[in-house]
Chain A
Amino acid sequence: DVVLTQTPPTLSATIGQSVSISCRSSQSLLHSNGNTYLHWLLQRPGQSPQLLIYSVSRLESGVPNRFSGSGSGTDFTLKISGVEAEDLGVYYCVQGTHAPWTFGGGTKLELK
Chain B
Amino acid sequence: QVQLKESGPVLVQASETLSLTCTVSGFSLTNYGVIWVRQPPGKGLEWMGIIWRNGNTDYNSALKSRLSINRDTSKSQVFLKMNSLQTDDTAIYYCTRWFAYWGQGTLVTVSS
A49-B99 in contact given A92-B45, A100-B47, A102-B47 (Cβ < 8 Å): yes
Whether the Cβ atoms of A103 and B45 lie closer than 8 Å is yes
Say which one of B11-19, B55-63, B77-85 lies at the interface with A: B55-63
Chain B binding site: helix, strand, loop or mixed by DSSP?
A: strand
Q: Which one of A51, A60, A106 lies within 8 Å of B45 (CB-CB)? A: A106
Give chain B residues whose Cβ lies under 8 Å from the Cβ of A49. 37, 45, 94, 96, 99, 102
Whether the Cβ atoms of A100 and B60 lie closer than 8 Å is yes
With both beta carbons as reference points, the residue of chain B lying nearest to A101 in the complex is identified as B47
Q: Does B40 sit within 8 A of A, measured CB to CB?
A: no
Q: How far is the CB of B47 from chain A (nearest CB, A)?
A: 5
A100-B58 in contact given A48-B103, A48-B105, A49-B99 (Cβ < 8 Å): yes
Q: How large is the interface on A (under 10, 10 to 19, 20 to 34, 35 or more residues)?
A: 20 to 34
Give chain A residues whose Cβ lies under 8 Å from the Cβ of B69. none
Q: Which one of B44, B47, B94 lies within 8 Å of A48 (CB-CB)? A: B94
Q: How far is the CB of A94 from chain B (nearest CB, A)?
A: 7
Give chain B residues whose Cβ lies under 8 Å from the Cβ of A24. none
Residue total for B at the interface (Cβ-Cβ under 8 A):
20
Whether the Cβ atoms of B47 and A94 lie closer than 8 Å is yes
Cα A49 to Cα B45 in complex, Å, equals 9
Cα A40 to Cα B37 in complex, Å, equals 15
Give chain B residues whose Cβ lies under 8 Å from the Cβ of A101. 35, 47, 50, 58
Q: Does B104 sit within 8 A of A, measured CB to CB?
A: yes
Q: Does B88 sit within 8 A of A, measured CB to CB?
A: no
10 pairs of residues in contact across A and B, judged by CB atoms under 8 Å: A49-B94, A49-B99, A49-B102, A100-B47, A100-B58, A100-B60, A101-B47, A101-B50, A103-B37, A103-B44
